[in-house]
Structures are given as C-alpha cells and as structure tokens.
C-alpha cells in the first residue's frame, strides 16, 4: 500500500537520474501530491506482471578503476537504473523475502 511505497522511497539514497530523467530526490519532493498515483502505478505493474520499457533500460557509464585511467581495461561499467525501477525492485524484494520467511523457506 501507500505506506510501503512511502517507506521504500524514503529508504533510498541520493541517485543519478536514469533514462526516466527522475531522481529519487525529485520523487521525494512530489510525494505529497502523487503518492496515491505512484502506488497505483507500482501496484498495477506488480499485479499485471508488466514493466514499462523505460524501467528496464539502464544507462551504462564507464567509471575509472584508477585515477589516471588511460586504457579501456582501466574502466568498469556501472548501470544507472531508472528511479521507478529501483523503487519497484525494492518493494518486490521485500514482499518475496517476507513470503519466504513466513513459510520458513529461508
């Protein structure tokens, strides 16, 4: 419900904007106005087993392994995920974990 969405959003730390062009901070700022709508979108995604394409896309950014990285081997890729993807992923993880714990499967 809305409490779980609210708790999840505020548990996430500052992040770089993904392809959805939203940061966690921007979502936190609009919460008073859009919590119910966000909850509806997240619930629809979970219950219908559908994920918007934009949530499945990541920006791949090269990060140097050393200060003076000059060759491609001296970089590692990181994936910058859309903010909504992070929120849904964390909610689903918590729900699956709770389900497994309650049934003593963990």
CA distance 75 to 49: 35
pLDDT tens digit sequence for 13-37: 988 899 999 999 999 999 999 999 9
**CA angle at 86 for the pair 80 and 92, rounded to the nearest 5°:** 145
- Please report the pLDDT score of residue 100 as a whole number: 97
pTM over 0.85: yes
pLDDT tens digit sequence for 5-14: 999 999 999 8
Say if residues 56 and 88 touch (Cβ distance below 8 Å): no
pLDDT tens digit sequence for 60-86: 999 999 999 999 999 999 999 999 999
Boundaries of every domain in the chain: 2-102
């Amino acid at each position: 419900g809305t409490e779980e969405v609210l708790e999840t959003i505020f548990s996430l730390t500052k992040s770089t904007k993904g392809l959805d062009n939203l940061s966690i901070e921007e979502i936190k700022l609009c919460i008073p106005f859009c919590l119910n709508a966000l909850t509806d979108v997240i619930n629809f995604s979970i219950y219908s087993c559908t994920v918007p394409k934009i949530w499945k896309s990541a920006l791949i950014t090269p990060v140097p392994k050393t200060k003076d990285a000059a060759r491609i081997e001296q970089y590692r890729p990181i994936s910058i995920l859309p903010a909504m993807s992070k929120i849904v992923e964390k909610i689903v993880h918590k729900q699956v974990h709770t389900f497994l714990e309650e049934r003593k499967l963990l």
